[in-house]
């Protein structure tokens, strides 16, 4: 039996078992089925975007401070943010998971034209509006940090604060530092990477062993094996989005955001801003500190034991800095770094 036949039979069965109306009772006075809006979903809400797609969101907590989380990738999921539930008290914070269009839990249209920085910025505004958020804190990690910068430059009026986690202000700066990290590999490893990149054979086992076993293990997440939420995020990575916007991997950036650069625009960000970076990150600590100078009201935190996923491999330092920032913004006590 195919799916359509099954659904038709199910509908007929439900109709046949429905309670008959009592004498004199009209359909409008009979006990109504609960409306869709009244059904409890554990905080999950699908937000319409672009007039024809839906993206997945989930509300966690009930506190006064509202935080919308932008995941990295592009094309990752909210899953690696699940550790936030252990550090952000639910009576103090309300935070929102949000899987961007194309990601595992949201609609996944087959249209490469959708995967641009500008369209994703407008998607964030639609999600903000759909969730009814205003005067909230926007948190972005990695690619989400790039997206957060873009959002703040256009829609700053809605923000109470901005968190830019593990992201520099231009792809050029990122690539320059990735070249530094690449130069720390052995000559043999560098030759292997060059060989397969020239042939565009990025899936070869020897190539993948260097990318995952040496680059990612040192600079993406220094906990091996990866914690479960991180492993699920990688398992669910939306390759069409990642490959279109980024490229083949962290070393090969050829996608639609390859020319992104916002260094000159950082002084336009006026809301209290928190910048976090790991000492072993894929991002240059000096770049993040430079961003802290350019953004007038900002504070920089360096996680000395952390990498790109400092929220896992240097949790104490990461969440200590983040929580202090969030509480200072909410109380009006925020002060920029000296």
Distance of alpha carbon 260 from alpha carbon 276, whole angstroms: 20
Please indicate whether residue 281 is annotated as part of the active site: yes
Peptide bond just before 74 cis, omega within 30 deg: yes
Beta bridge partners of residue 69, listed in sequence order: 139
Q: Which helix (H) or strand (E) holds 306?
A: none
Query: What phi and psi, each to the nearest 5 degrees, are found at residue 273?
Result: -125, 135
Distance of alpha carbon 218 from alpha carbon 307, whole angstroms: 7
Query: Looking up tokens 């070249």, which residue turns up?
Result: 179
Please choose, from the candidates 221, 258, 64, 58, the residue with its C-alpha nearest in 3D space to the C-alpha of residue 143. Answer: 258
Distance of alpha carbon 147 from alpha carbon 151, whole angstroms: 6
Distance of alpha carbon 252 from alpha carbon 115, whole angstroms: 17
Residue 24 CA, distance from chain mean position: 55
Query: What phi and psi, each to the nearest 5 degrees, are found at residue 164?
Result: -115, 105
What tokens does 209 get? 């062993």
Catalytic residue among 78, 99, 103, 142: 142
3-state SS assignment for residue 81: helix
Distance of alpha carbon 231 from alpha carbon 67, whole angstroms: 24
Distance of alpha carbon 277 from alpha carbon 100, whole angstroms: 23
Catalytic residue among 165, 226, 308, 310: 308
Catalytic residue among 103, 219, 280, 281: 281
Please indicate whether residue 142 is annotated as part of the active site: yes
DSSP E strand boundaries for the chain: 44-49, 53-61, 65-70, 93-99, 136-141, 159-165, 273-278, 298-303
Catalytic residues, by residue number, are 142, 281, 308
């Amino acid at each position: 039996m195919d799916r359509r036949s099954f659904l038709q039979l199910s509908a007929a069965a439900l109709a046949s078992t429905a309670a008959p109306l009592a004498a004199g009772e009209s359909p409008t006075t009979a006990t109504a089925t609960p409306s869709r809006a009244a059904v409890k979903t554990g905080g999950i809400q699908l937000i319409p975007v672009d007039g024809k797609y839906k993206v997945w969101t989930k509300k966690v907590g009930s506190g006064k401070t509202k935080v919308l989380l932008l995941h990295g990738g592009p094309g990752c999921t909210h899953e690696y943010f699940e550790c936030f539930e252990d550090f952000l008290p639910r009576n103090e914070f309300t935070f929102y998971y949000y899987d961007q269009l194309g990601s595992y839990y949201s609609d996944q249209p087959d249209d490469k034209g959708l995967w641009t920085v500008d369209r994703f910025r407008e998607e964030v505004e639609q999600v903000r509006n759909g969730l009814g958020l205003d005067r909230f804190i926007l948190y972005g990690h990695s690619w989400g940090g790039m997206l957060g910068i873009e959002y703040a430059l256009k829609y700053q009026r809605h923000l109470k604060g901005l968190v830019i986690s593990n992201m520099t202000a231009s792809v050029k700066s990122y690539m320059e530092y990735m070249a530094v990290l690449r130069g720390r590999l052995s000559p043999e490893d560098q030759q292997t990477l060059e060989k397969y990149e020239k042939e565009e054979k990025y899936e070869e086992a020897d190539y993948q062993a260097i990318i995952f076993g040496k680059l990612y293990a040192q600079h993406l997440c220094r906990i091996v094996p990866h914690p479960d939420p991180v492993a699920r995020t990688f398992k669910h990575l939306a390759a069409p989005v990642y490959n279109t916007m980024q490229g083949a991997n962290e070393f090969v950036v050829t996608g639609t955001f390859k020319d992104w650069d916002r260094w000159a625009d950082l002084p336009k960000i006026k809301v209290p801003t928190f910048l976090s970076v790991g000492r072993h990150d894929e991002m240059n600590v000096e770049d993040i500190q430079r961003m802290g100078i350019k953004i007038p009201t900002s504070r920089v935190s360096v996680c000395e034991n952390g990498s790109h996923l400092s929220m896992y491999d240097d949790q104490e330092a990461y969440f200590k800095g983040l929580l202090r920032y969030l509480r200072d913004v909410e109380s009006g006590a925020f002060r920029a770094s000296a």
